[in-house]
Amino acid sequence: MRLPAIRSFGISGGSVTKAGKPTERVLVKVTAGGLSGWGEATPTPAWTYETVETISTTIAGYLAPALIGRPAWDLDGAVAVFDKTINRGLTIGSPIAKSALDLALHDLLGRALGQNVGVLWGQRRTERIQLGWIVSGQTPDEVRQAVREGQSEGYQAFKVKVGLHDESTDAAVVAAVRQAAPSAPIWVDANQAYSVDGALRMARRLVDLDVIAFEQPLPANDFTGLRRLRDHSPLPVALDESLRHPSDLATFVKLDAVDIAIAKVQRSGGLVLSRRLCQLAEDAGLRLMGSGLTDTDLGFAASLHLFAAFGIDTPVDLNGRQFVRSAYVTEATVEVKDGVASVPTGPGLGVEVDEEAVRGLAVQTWST
């Protein structure tokens, strides 16, 4: 379906949203025993390989038929079925499509039992998660304006997209953010844009700006480069795109090539695998930070449950509310006030979906 974009958003790979133009999402409904659960997939071709078309056909033609007839409570078994149906190559294999079904199953099971996801897991360490305002501007003046806009909404932490320009301009953009927000937590995300040497130069430029993390500076599979960078970088190295599956994190831990693991539900194929990844990071003594894929409210809520389960206390990049309007919800069931999100307490994911609105927004119907 198509949803209204509120603001423009770009990363080093290209445009994610454009103000005034619709942005597309795939919603999935899973039904069992007269109850339903909902999940979301966020096609982001500028970030990874899954598109509206591939997500829709993968679910309709492969994952949904493999799931039908199985017990809805068997979340672990569903993941095993997904992985057998769309197998792993050098990556997890259609994680965004798989995540949509995983989220819907969690939502369904919670609604069947009348409990939210945190209660299902028996794990919630915090009730509130601080959000970061995303800064993705072309000039220092633009980013200062973006920071002021975030501050007017009550946000007190900022994530800055770098790798969109030459190194000097990237550094000037971050410096402008620091000037506009002298005491705020700031971290930068390159989305794989740099070489090792370029990332080292950038880290040395940024260290005096009190940047708390340097997220995904190198290509996801550059194992030796990330090891070298971590050895020499004055900033902590955080990995996002590199961590599709818990086994990826295990590899980087063995190589001593990571300081911070980024938890991201859709990237890792849903909540089951994301919990495994977070537990591994915690057991390995790594810091955990959180991120999303410009999710609308379903994905937003799922991420909040995950981050709350592990007590993530640094600001997280859950930027959907900043860029996209969740026009399919009956009301704003996920509360955000002054840049802090309250973890939903309603059954399942805690988001009430207006199915009539979903069908009204649909641009194409896929059937199994």
Give pLDDT, residue 15: 60
The predicted-structure confidence for 87-103, as pLDDT tens digits, reads as follows 877 778 899 999 999 99
Give pLDDT, residue 332: 66
Mean pLDDT of 357-365: 85
Q: Among the listed ranges 35-39, 195-199, 327-331, which one has the minimum average pLDDT value?
A: 327-331
The predicted-structure confidence for 294-324, as pLDDT tens digits, reads as follows 899 999 999 999 999 999 999 999 998 998 9
Q: Where are the beta strands (DSSP E) in 46-176?
A: 128-130, 133-135, 158-161
Share of the chain above pLDDT 70, in %: 96
Q: How many CB atoms lie within 10 A of CB 183?
A: 8
Determine if residue 350 is left, alpha or beta; phi over 0 gives left, psi from -120 to 50 gives alpha, anything else beta.
left
Give pLDDT, residue 12: 57
For residues 52 and 205, give the distance between their C-alpha atoms in angstroms, rounded to a whole number: 39
Q: Among the listed ranges 210-214, 245-249, 268-272, 326-330, which one has the minimum average pLDDT value?
A: 326-330
What is the residue-averaged pLDDT of the chain?
93
**Residue among 331, 239, 342, 267 nearest 100 (CA):** 267
Q: Among the listed ranges 105-114, 132-141, 337-346, 359-368, which one has the minimum average pLDDT value?
A: 359-368
Give pLDDT, residue 368: 44
For residues 219 and 119, give the distance between their C-alpha atoms in angstroms, rounded to a whole number: 37
What strand order describes the sheet that includes 133-135?
Answer: 133-135, 158-161, 186-189, 211-215, 237-239, 260-263, 287-290
The predicted-structure confidence for 118-177, as pLDDT tens digits, reads as follows 999 999 999 999 999 999 877 888 889 999 999 999 999 999 999 988 999 999 999 999
Residue 14 has pLDDT above 70, yes or no: no
Dihedral sign (CA 219, 223, 228, 232): positive
- Confidence bin at 10 (pLDDT 50/70/90): low
- Confidence bin at 4 (pLDDT 50/70/90): confident
The predicted-structure confidence for 51-87, as pLDDT tens digits, reads as follows 999 999 999 999 999 999 999 999 999 999 999 999 8
Determine if residue 42 is left, alpha or beta; phi over 0 gives left, psi from -120 to 50 gives alpha, anything else beta.
beta
